[in-house]
Amino acid sequence: MAVKVRTARGQVVIEMLLILPVFFTIIFTIMEMGNLAFQMILLNHATFEVARVAAMTRTPPTLGSPNPREDCPDMIPLMKRIIRTADVVCHAEETYRDEQADVKNKDLVVTGNYSVPLIFPISNLLLSEPRGSGHRMSHATVRMPIERPLKR
């Protein structure tokens, strides 16, 4: 006696339609987080390069204006050569007093800001700030000692 097996036609299609959006959301979010990590590494490197150049070319008398954008306006084009839509803000902070040279040392604090465009469709709804904008703001701050020539 043969047993008839009842087939459930279309069950696989329904299960796939229920699971596929969740699967794609997970995959796209993982790929978007990789993109964000890459963009953050790029911003950190660009900010470090701008801080290195600014610390070597700036002297403390040229730093210290009340508006941080006026401290290093010529560093903004340098940052834009590395990342077109990034912005940079610099200011000097006193660190400690050098007793031998009888001067106060300063560090140049450089902050790079970059609005990272998100590229994957579902995950940019989850990861964007503000929601649905398709961008996420990233910030990188680098502190670099200001180089001073030795006085004689």
**CA 61 – CA 72 distance, rounded (Å):** 12
Amino acid at 112: G
pTM of the model as a whole: 0.77
Give the count of beta carbons closer than 10 Å to the beta carbon of residue 17. Answer: 9
- Residue 40: the pLDDT is 95
Q: What is the pLDDT of residues 3-48, one digit of tens each?
A: 666 666 778 888 889 999 999 989 988 999 999 999 999 999 999 9
pLDDT digits (tens, 9 = 90+) for 71-91: 678 888 999 999 999 999 988
Residue labelled with tokens 């200001």: 146
113 burial (CB, 10 Å; 0-12 / 13-18 / 19+) is: middle
Distance CA(88)–CA(71), nearest Å, equals 11
Tell me, what's the pLDDT at 47? 95
Distance CA 79, CA 49 (A): 8
pLDDT tens for residues 56-69? 886 655 555 556 55
